[in-house]
Structure 1
């Protein structure tokens, strides 16, 4: 299982393997392994080089933006392999959930500076789907042009979205300025479902990012869509009351991951797209 590219990368990083690769679960898109080396355990990921480069950049960006959350250090990458620090898992606790809320609040407090507010300097991927991040100053335009409309078009072209549902999605996208205030984009994880949150001996950790700058509710909506954050998490995150329009924002920012799942995994997600769309149309 040690191909020439991996052996060359390990040699460059001065990592001598002490055992065979141990496959890890949870890698729906990429192959993920744990490896014991003479400098300790590392995690290896094998995938498309461009996707891995985007992930490595995202991990570094998260690490630079938070002191409260653990983010695995990137040790090196190349030729379709990514080598990262291995984290030691621990039990999920109420204290860990509070720490996750506090850490995300810290992460989302990092504003854009000297750049267009929403987006990122390079495109990356959300799962196997290319994620366009060309920056825009207005968050409503970014959500419309970089997230909702491209995926609605892709799903329709594959026969996964009927014409009427696509028309409703486009109408919601065109009407965002009617209710969603513009705001400075904040650094977000971008693919924060529950499987990308680890509870470790160093506290809650974030893995597998698809980082860009946008409304911070992007991360919260993903957590509630594919997970069950506790009351302790939300108390720590909001540090007070949730915004009055949170239910509508939650539904809006769930549309993109739901459309992505529809595109990747098929028609089972169509009804969920329709339900989230109805919530946005009705104001939450």
Structure 2
């Protein structure tokens, strides 16, 4: 690498901007990881390549146990037109589908491992692979745990119409959408076969510029099932639990509010 510029760190990984000997600009994540964390960069690379079959993502240049190198994304301000293009592209990505609920690579969200083993249907996948494992890590009071478990028991009832597995990003908060080339570019995936409403609920959780334009264009490309807005809290349970595990009780109120809305469906 010809030169690098330090960009700080995130989740225990050093971040750098670099220029390769051939002049290409790249983004580099590096850091040692023991145990399952040694698989983190390979998992992200697999997800990027899979998503990249259908939507704009950085090119994976190198992926190993201690470093991930991807092409640099030149960012630009978001616009309504870019948001609409992104919404249509996201619908097409989801429509590419997956072989099942789960993925053939190990899962991670931030530095936390996730189980991507397949399940027969989405409610059981979401319960056993996403919500319950993080509930066990969240150190919530017993009453809160009981309420989350009651919500989990209702997943099959409130999940809406059954559908085939969608090809989803899996951690689609606004920071993982970079505006470039007149649309959104997806980075840092936790990609797997899942429910397409999950990505949309994650965008809603932490906000996105022109989100109404994204959702409108998405629905024109591929209409959503009736009741999708009411199911948003259901799909937010997992990311909120992740935030409780990573950052503590500051996210507890938002989590329990979502739990209450699921129990009221």
TM-score, length-scaled by structure 1: 0.85
Counterpart among 203, 218, 231 of residue 212 in structure 2: 231
Gaps of 5+ in 2: none
2:129 counterpart of 1:146: yes
The count of corresponding residues between Structure 1 and Structure 2 is: 256
Report the alpha carbon displacement of residue 111 of structure 1 after superposing the two structures with TM. 2.2
Bigger Rg, which one: 1
SS in 2 for 1:259: helix
Which residue pairs with 2:92 in the alignment?
A: 106
Residue 113 of structure 2: which of 113, 130, 145 is its match?
Answer: 130
CA distance in 1: counterparts of 2:186 and 2:264, whole angstroms: 33
1:26, 1:195 within 8 Å by CA — same for their partners in 2?
A: no
Q: In structure 1, how many angstroms separate the alpha carbons of the residues matched to 2:8 and 2:185?
A: 17
Determine if contact 1:51/1:125 at 8 Å carries over to the other structure.
yes
> Which residue of structure 2 lines up, in the alignment, with residue 263 of structure 1?
245
Q: Tell me which residue corresponds to 1:53.
A: 42
Return the offset for 1:38.
Answer: 2.7
- Give the Cα separation in 2 of the matches to 1:263 and 1:245: 29
Task: Tell me how far apart the structure 1 counterparts of residues 182 and 47 of structure 2 sit (CA, whole Å).
Answer: 20
1:43 pairs, out of 27, 34, 47, with 27
Paired position in structure 1 for 2:16: 33
> How much does 1:150 deviate?
1.2
TM-score, with normalisation over the residues of structure 2? 0.91
Separation (CA, whole Å) in 2 of partners of 1:112 and 1:75: 24
RMSD over aligned CA atoms reads 1.7
Equivalent of 1:91 in 63, 67, 77 = 77
Give 3-state SS (helix, strand or coil) of 1:246's partner: coil
**CA 1:243–1:29 in structure 2 vs 1: closer, same or farther (change >3 Å)?**
farther
Matched, 1:62 2:51: yes
> What does the per-residue CA deviation read over 1:110-166, in whole Å, with 9 as the maximum and x for residues that have no partner?
1234xxx211112220011111110012111111111111111221xxxx3111111
SS of the aligned residue for 1:109 comes to helix
Q: 1:244 aligns with which of 220, 226, 229?
A: 226
Q: Which runs of 5+ in 1 are unaligned?
A: 1-16
Helix, strand or coil at the partner of 1:273: helix
